[in-house]
Amino acid sequence: MSILIVLLALFAVMAGSALTARYSLQRKNRVLTGTKSSAPLSWLSSGRREAKLHRRLRASGRRLELIPPTDDVAEIITRLRVELVELDGYLVTVARRPSQSRRADRPQLTERVEQIEDLVRRVEERSRTELVSLDDLSERLDLLEAADNELNELGPAEG
């Protein structure tokens, strides 16, 4: 009886570990954090073209999630997020088609992935530019505060 309990406990631990590993892989396979993907887990390392495109979308999604959603780019980020998820779903659909149909769709899919990658890169650059301009504003305020302090040290103006 005790051997049976030990075996059941061991089985429960192994099953729990397997489920945890699978969940972790499914999360890693998502295009965006918090958004489930229907892409197969084999796409994490597959050499198929659709899998490679999926991984490129994942990389774009990770980069997109690191961009602060400032007023300038918030709407663009939202639209790119929607496009990433929709294109990933379409990739899965295309991958299930016969090979001739897949081959016909690949150029368009590749072009759309490249467009998304380019847009993410441009939004990143825009975000960096905005941060630089904030640094410029901070420097200007520092100079104004220093000038104000100097004027205060001189005393009130006579006139």
Chunked into runs of 10 residues, the chain (159 residues) has average pLDDT values of 86 87 81 90 90 95 90 88 94 92 91 95 83 72 83 67
- Triad 125, 127, 133: Cα angle to 5°: 105
In a domain, 139, yes or no: no
Residue 73 lies in a domain: yes
CA–CA distance, 55 with 43 (Å, rounded to integer): 8
Containing 51, the helix (H) or strand (E) segment is helix 49-65
Coil, strand or helix: which one is 152?
helix
In a domain, 145, yes or no: no
Write down the pLDDT at residue 17. Answer: 86
| Domain count across the chain | 1
Q: Is residue 21 part of a domain?
A: no
Closest by Cα among 56, 43, 35, 37 to 95: 43
- Domain around 97: 29-133
The pair of three-digit structure tokens given for residue 49, joined into one six-digit string: 């073209």
Residue 9 lies in a domain: no
85 is a domain residue: yes
State the DSSP code for 33: T
Question: Is residue 158 in a domain?
Answer: no
